[in-house]
Amino acid sequence: MEKTWLDTFTEWVNVVDDRIWGTSFEVCGMPVPVLIIVILFGGIFLTIRLGGMQFIRLPLAIKYMFRNEKVEHGAKGEVSSFGALCTALSATIGTGNIVGVATAYVTGGPGTLFWMWIAALFGMATKYSEGLLAVKYRSYDAEAGHVLGGPFYYIERGMGKRWKWLACIFAFFGICVGLFGIGTFTQVNSICGAITQFFDPDMRWGVTILDNEYSMVTVIASFILATLVGLVLIGGLKRISKVSTRVIPVMVVLYIAVALIILVCNITAIPGAVATIFKSAFGLEAVAGGALGAIICSMQKGVARGIFSNEAGLGSAPIAAAAAQTKECVRQGLVSMTGTFLDTIIVCSITGLALTVTGQPYLSESAPMGAVATMNAFATGIPFLPRIATDFLVMLSLVLFGFTTILGWDYYSERCLEYLTGGRMRIVTFYRWLYIAAVFIGPYMTISAVWGIADIFNGLMALPNMIALFCLSGVVAAETKAYFARRREGEVKD
């Protein structure tokens, strides 16, 4: 079969992806990506620097998450802290929570879930630091009428003007992530793939576009999705926040409720599933010679999936956190870190447990991947519902998760563009239409290409942010210490 231009493009993307996420060393023949180590080590370093604050202060953070829906008197910002969190979650909780977790499970085994938890627990310290710095170093654009903040501002203002070049690099790759990566191509590709799998699994309504075969369902779905995204984006941040605060709680509760039904129906299998997760995480299921290799494989897949799912260290969430109506940067940092807890410890865990208790196959070339694996888990776990009903539930979850991620990443990338262009709104408006067009063309690329592009720009975006977090960790520690000292003295009220 002759190669198409899309096959050639995919090969090129994979080569670049391998260069960026390449390895500097191998352990038991398994590659250990440098970027993953940097991001994970950053979380461990900040955890130590902050005295394990994410464990000690989590109840207070959850309290602030709901209480800060009532805007603090005299606080600057555009949306409530809860609204800012939902905007961040709209970009964080996406198809990766369903497709990504299932793919990690199949390729790395059930133990990947344990390493996701580890990445998330340390990532909470990273996300806290990002949210704190975003509010501390934000600025208010009176002409545009909104708050500007994020890694580009805490790099420039916190590290000094001579580091502006690093802030510009972050902003540039932030735009690329939104326009070409996880903001558009990966989400709409997964959404349309799930819709096509449900309505036209046998490709009965096939059409040829640029020498490649697609279902007519894919074409219709991409058009409807691009139209809906356009209608929301024209309204700006407040409309994105409004949609997110309505959709995010509903979709998370719906997905968790259905997954909990699976766990209840298979409650006797839960102890065995938990044991399997820990055995797989530490290579106890492998033969003696391959135990260490199994651990490295499970760790690599789990940590990578955890990082990409909760986005701790990538620098995306602080862009939304900067818009929160709050006077206290520490308070917003606490609210921000709950996003990692909700995304990975709750939503990803639910998916991973559903796959494990229903005994879905893994570490096999013939094992179903991605959404299909999750659909199989739901169908097996809820035997009293017909297969079409459980498939529909997974498809609906994918659509809602992916749709809100598209909205959230438009906001992130627009703020990056504003920083680079000095707030020229005409350019931002033009970019918005480009973003809508990218949503439309996303389904016509291969899965390998869209995830490869996302990996490339995620890595290039994360490096400047992690450099800033290491350099400004002293500021984070000082602000944290000062805030809780004032709180003990009664100067700060919860």
Residue 75 has pLDDT above 60, yes or no: no
Nearest-CA neighbor of 97 among 255, 242, 263? 255
Of 163-167, 240-244, 443-447, give the range with the top mean pLDDT: 163-167
What pLDDT score was predicted for residue 289?
Answer: 45
CA–CA gap between residue 407 and residue 56 (Å, rounded): 33
Of 203-212, 379-388, 448-457, give the range with the top mean pLDDT: 379-388
What pLDDT score was predicted for residue 288?
Answer: 43
Higher pLDDT, 186 or 483: 483
What pLDDT score was predicted for residue 5?
Answer: 62
What pLDDT score was predicted for residue 113?
Answer: 92
Q: Which residues pair with 79 in a beta bridge?
A: 324
Least confident of 83-97, 164-178, 255-269: 83-97
| Residue pair 153/167 in contact by the 8 Å Cβ criterion | yes
For the purposes of burial, counting CB atoms within 10 Å of the CB of 491, is it exposed (0-12), middle (13-18) or buried (19 or more)? Answer: exposed
Residues 87-92 have a mean pLDDT of 63
102: number of Cβ within 10 Å: 30
Q: Which residues, other chains included, contact 142 with Cβ-Cβ below 8 Å and sequence gap of 6+?
A: none
CA dihedral 438, 440, 446, 449 (to 10 degrees): 10
CA–CA gap between residue 459 and residue 374 (Å, rounded): 27
Nearest-CA neighbor of 104 among 342, 246, 300? 300
Q: Which residues, other chains included, contact 368 with Cβ-Cβ below 8 Å and sequence gap of 6+?
A: 106, 360, 361, 376
Residue 142 has pLDDT above 70, yes or no: no
Least confident of 86-90, 221-225, 255-259, 401-405: 86-90
List pLDDT tens digits, range 29-72. 556 667 778 888 899 999 999 999 999 999 999 888 876 545 45
Residue 106 has pLDDT above 80, yes or no: yes
Residues 436-465 have a mean pLDDT of 81
Band (472; pLDDT cuts 50, 70, 90): very high
pTM of the model: 0.85
Residues 206-235 have a mean pLDDT of 83
Higher pLDDT, 84 or 187: 187
Residue 243 has pLDDT above 70, yes or no: no
Least confident of 303-317, 347-361, 476-490: 303-317
List pLDDT tens digits, range 335-381. 889 988 888 888 889 889 999 999 888 877 777 777 788 888 988 98
CA–CA gap between residue 369 and residue 107 (Å, rounded): 9
Residue 311 has pLDDT above 90, yes or no: no
CA–CA gap between residue 372 and residue 376 (Å, rounded): 6
List pLDDT tens digits, range 124-141. 999 999 999 999 999 877
Of 63-67, 141-145, 156-160, 449-453, give the range with the top mean pLDDT: 156-160
What pLDDT score was predicted for residue 182?
Answer: 80
